[in-house]
Amino acid sequence: MRLPIAALLALSVAAPAAAQPLSSQFQLDELRAQQEAAQRRLIDQSNQLMALEARLRAEQGAADLQRSAPRVSELRYEPSVRAAAVVTPAFPSISDAALAESNRRVQAAAGNRR
């Protein structure tokens, strides 16, 4: 009678110890997941910070260009100045008969392919 009671008592004391590695494994997995999530948040924040810095540099560059651009006064043209009349040259012309004869010779030459 003593032996079964002692065995039952020993098993009841050992049961939480047997469950402990499983629980600690879950805790380790949970800790790893939290660390990975924190690392992802850190990377995301870093990316956002870099994007903001790039946008700030671009805006500062644009502002510097606007400040440093020399102001050129607008040239005013006198309305009394008129453009000179352009003389168009006489373009060469060819008569219809000469053009038809040239076309006939080209067609004949194209038809005599070897």
Digitized pLDDT (tens) for each residue of the chain, 114 residues in all = 666 676 666 666 655 555 556 788 899 999 999 999 999 999 999 999 999 999 999 999 999 988 887 777 777 777 676 777 777 777 778 899 999 999 999 999 988 765
* Tokens read off for 12: 């009841």
* Tokens read off for 63: 């502002």
Identity (one letter) of the amino acid at 102?
Answer: S
CB-CB neighbours of 107 under 10 Å: 9
pLDDT attached to residue 111: 85
Q: How far is Cα 69 from Cα 63, in angstroms, rounded to an integer?
A: 10
pLDDT attached to residue 99: 93
